[in-house]
Amino acid sequence: MPIHTLSIGDWNAQFAEQTVDHSIIRLVGSPGRPAELEDDHLLFRADEMEYNQDTGDVTARGNVFYHNFDRNVRIWCSRLEYNTDDEKGKFYDVIGESHPRIIAKPGLLTTNNPFHFEGTWAERIGEKYILHQGFITNCKMPKPWWRLRGKRFDIVPNEKATGRNSKFILRTIPILYLPFFYHSLEREPRKSGFLLPMPGNSSLRGFELTGGYFWAINRSYDLTYRFQYYPERGLVSHVDFRGKPYAGTDYDVILFGANDKGVPGSGNPPVKYSGLSILAVGKSDLGNGWTAHAAINYITSFRFRQEWSESYSEITGSEIHSVGFVNKNWSTYTINAIFARLENFQSSEIPYTPPNSTSTQYLTNAVIIRKLPEVEFTGRDRQILKSLPLWFSFETATGLLYRSYPVFNGNTLVNNFQTSQFMNRSSLAPHVTGSFSFLNIHLVPSFGIQETYYGEAQAPTPTGFTAVGTNIVRSSQDFSMDIILPSLARVFQKKTIFGDKLKHVIEPRAIYRYVTGIGTDYARFIRFDETDIKSNTNELLLGLTNRIYAKRGDSIQEIFTWELFQKRYFDPTFGGAIVAGERNLFAATADLTAYAFLVGPRSTSPVVNILRMSPLRGLNVQWQADYDHRQHGLIDSSVSVEYRYSKFFVSAGQNQVHTNPILTAVANQFHFRGGFGDYNHRGLSAGFEAIYDYTQGVLQYTTSQVTYNTDCCGFSFQLHTFNVGTRVETIPRFAFTIANIATPFGNLKKSDRMF
């Protein structure tokens, strides 16, 4: 039977048979070719349909198909009654789908599956579709992994889907009753609501119940509250407040606190580790080239964090940094206003009983350094005269600083050093730098002076030092000569597994530096930062760098780098600043290696070795070590190997220190991490991470995770173990994730997942 076409107003019609009764047009299709009615927004297709030109009513029967182009909604049903003018209609024996816009984000399982719904009947009222006696899912049919079945669902395509009194069904098993359900279909979904409570367990704290609430305050602010309640230990709260008040400005404030009932069996009263931590980050574009940044990190006690944190780096990391600054760069100038606080914990709290008292206090054993504020004004190299290869630069700083630290002898407090709350330190350091070449040898000389004013000094006492209100000025002059010798190079044309061509480059270098004027008053200066560890020195640095470049197609990569450095000190006492038998740290040694090596006068430094290799795609090797000829061996070593191939990854490393105990405590740790998969990998993903302390013979930390992702949801199980100090704990975590929705229930946070 031939198919005919006809224009009916704004509609295009296709049919095999047509009858007209006044304003009602009846269209009938043929076997395999249903009748169609289509405009710019809608498509109707059915075995037979009627269209009323006066009222806009469409009635369709038999294999009905409806497609809304604007909202990208498709519905299959047995019968349809629809008014095209009012956009109202009813659908019977419904199967439908909507394609939401997906934004792929790290850590979020995504799927391209449509949002699928089925029901006894449905109706459209404006932009809303109401589904009766049906279910919704985003899994592939006909055997979905999950369904949400209920008496009624309200669906607004590209906006939201809501339901009441529904059942969450996993495969064929009902596992959860939901009095209210909300799922956003928007591009950036945000909606207030409760986080489903979940039980858990800790081998250290016992039974755990987690839950919370997400508050979408408005389009610019939101707040998340999570709790962990331990009947035996108390309540742990986590508050995350985020804001973006206007373009160029955003911040995130995280509060974490514990109200501890006390450790069971620790006595009467029990030992409690209550506390609070604050982490806040933010930035703002202030206009006219001014920007502001802040990263605030504060904890009430280190022991509190060791007891409650679930991060290995936080449990073992002893430094707490907070810094905020306002900055502007223009031409060759920079101005910074810095607000900073550093707290370096030397140990956990120390029990202390004051004289003439029977009560025990717990004192914080930490070094505190504060800048409120410090203003820096610097000028980068600017050529003095175009005819002369000389450049002028300068650095200036002035600030209100504070430093304090206790001194203990066992559990006895013997000294408590602290400056005044706002001690002034000001510094001025101009420099002149040149650049000359001779026979392919580049010479870069530099001369400068530095004047630093201190509002206070430190004086020795039998138990350490004390701050005294003595104004002192430190004057120094420095000269340096950077000697860049010609490089040696050779190209290897033979093709290898590393590339089509290889190029080997050897770069020798020497830097001479002379600093004078500081004298033997080094011990009088209070140490706040790198400015204060400057000392007299007369030194020569010799360095040799080997580089291998590989050409792979049209790209060139550096696949091998090996750097060797050593300093020769012509002044072994650094102007008399060396204190024999103690740990000494100067700017002349800190710019060479991260580890101190001075316990007395010496004329040479250890040899610093830095090796980096990436010979094959996905393979990276790094090794940094210091060789001390006085001890006839390596005094510290840090090596790491990482390899990635497709979904597989493995890494291993070792950090070892075995130098003089006066300098650094002996340590030897191994780290391993491996697995396959990622957060959006379909099928099985698994990973394992471990940190082993060889010196103590203790496996300090492990985490293992197994994840199985289907086409529309994922199941993750993770197990943490800690064995650090008194923290011996095993924590299991679980999460069920629905694609494009995140985690509807579970106690495994996204930030703690391996993938």
pLDDT reading at 209 higher than 80: yes
| pLDDT tier at 738, thresholds 50, 70, 90 | confident
Is residue 752 helix, strand or coil? helix
Q: Give the span between the Cα atoms of 627 and 622, in whole angstroms.
A: 16
**351 preceded by a cis bond (ω within 30 of 0):** no
**606 preceded by a cis bond (ω within 30 of 0):** no
Q: Give the span between the Cα atoms of 370 and 403, in whole angstroms.
A: 7
**142 preceded by a cis bond (ω within 30 of 0):** yes
Please give the pLDDT value at position 635.
Answer: 94
Q: What are phi and psi of 164, to 5 degrees?
A: -130, 145
Please give the pLDDT value at position 176.
Answer: 86
Q: Write the pLDDT tens digit of every residue in 140-154.
A: 999 999 999 999 999
* Strand (E) or helix (H) holding 590: helix 587-590
* Architecture in CATH of 4-184: Sandwich (2.60)
Q: Write the pLDDT tens digit of every residue in 218-269.
A: 989 999 999 999 999 999 999 999 999 999 999 999 999 999 999 998 888 8
Triad 123, 125, 131: Cα angle to 5°: 30
pLDDT reading at 359 higher than 80: no
Higher pLDDT residue, 639 or 214?
639
Please give the pLDDT value at position 358.
Answer: 67
Q: Write the pLDDT tens digit of every residue in 40-86.
A: 999 999 999 999 999 999 999 999 999 999 888 999 999 999 999 99
pTM, two decimals, is: 0.87
Evaluated on CA atoms 590, 591, 594, 600, the torsion sign reads negative
Q: Give the span between the Cα atoms of 282 and 386, in whole angstroms.
A: 42
Mean pLDDT of the chain, nearest integer:
92
pLDDT reading at 188 higher than 60: no
Which DSSP string do the residues of 473-537 spell out, in sequence order?
EEEEEEEEEEEEPPPEEEEE-S-BTTBSEEEEEEEEEEEEEEEES-TT-GGGSPPSSGGGG---E
pLDDT reading at 189 higher than 60: no
Q: Give the span between the Cα atoms of 646 and 638, in whole angstroms.
A: 27
pLDDT reading at 190 higher than 70: no
* Amino acid letter for position 521: D
Q: What are phi and psi of 747, to 5 degrees?
A: -115, 15
pLDDT reading at 158 higher than 80: no
Q: Identify which of 507, 402, 502, 395 has the alpha carbon closest to the alpha carbon of residue 456.
A: 402
| pLDDT tier at 194, thresholds 50, 70, 90 | confident
**pLDDT-above-70 percentage for the chain:** 97
Cα-based distances in Å from 362 to 307, 412, 492: 16, 11, 66
| pLDDT tier at 364, thresholds 50, 70, 90 | confident
Please give the pLDDT value at position 134.
Answer: 96
Q: Give the span between the Cα atoms of 486 and 506, in whole angstroms.
A: 9
* Strand (E) or helix (H) holding 316: helix 312-316
Please give the pLDDT value at position 520.
Answer: 80
Q: Give the span between the Cα atoms of 422 and 373, in whole angstroms.
A: 9
Please give the pLDDT value at position 172.
Answer: 92
Q: Write the pLDDT tens digit of every residue in 629-670.
A: 999 999 999 999 999 999 999 999 999 998 888 898 899 999
pLDDT reading at 594 higher than 60: yes
Q: Identify which of 99, 103, 107 has the alpha carbon closest to the alpha carbon of residue 681.
A: 107
pLDDT reading at 102 higher than 80: no
Q: Write the pLDDT tens digit of every residue in 442-474.
A: 999 999 999 999 999 999 999 999 999 989 999
pLDDT reading at 433 higher than 90: yes
Q: Give the span between the Cα atoms of 132 and 142, in whole angstroms.
A: 20
Evaluated on CA atoms 45, 46, 47, 50, the torsion sign reads negative
pLDDT reading at 510 higher than 70: yes
pLDDT reading at 602 higher than 80: yes
Q: What's the average model confidence in pLDDT over 394-402? A: 98
Please give the pLDDT value at position 752.
Answer: 84
pLDDT reading at 187 higher than 60: no
Q: Write the pLDDT tens digit of every residue in 103-123.
A: 566 667 888 899 899 999 999
61 in Cβ contact with 47 (< 8 Å): yes
Q: Write the pLDDT tens digit of every residue in 349-358.
A: 887 777 776 6
pLDDT reading at 585 higher than 70: yes
Q: Give the span between the Cα atoms of 579 and 435, in whole angstroms.
A: 38
Q: Write the pLDDT tens digit of every residue in 462-507.
A: 999 999 998 999 999 999 999 999 999 999 999 999 999 999 999 9
| pLDDT tier at 411, thresholds 50, 70, 90 | confident
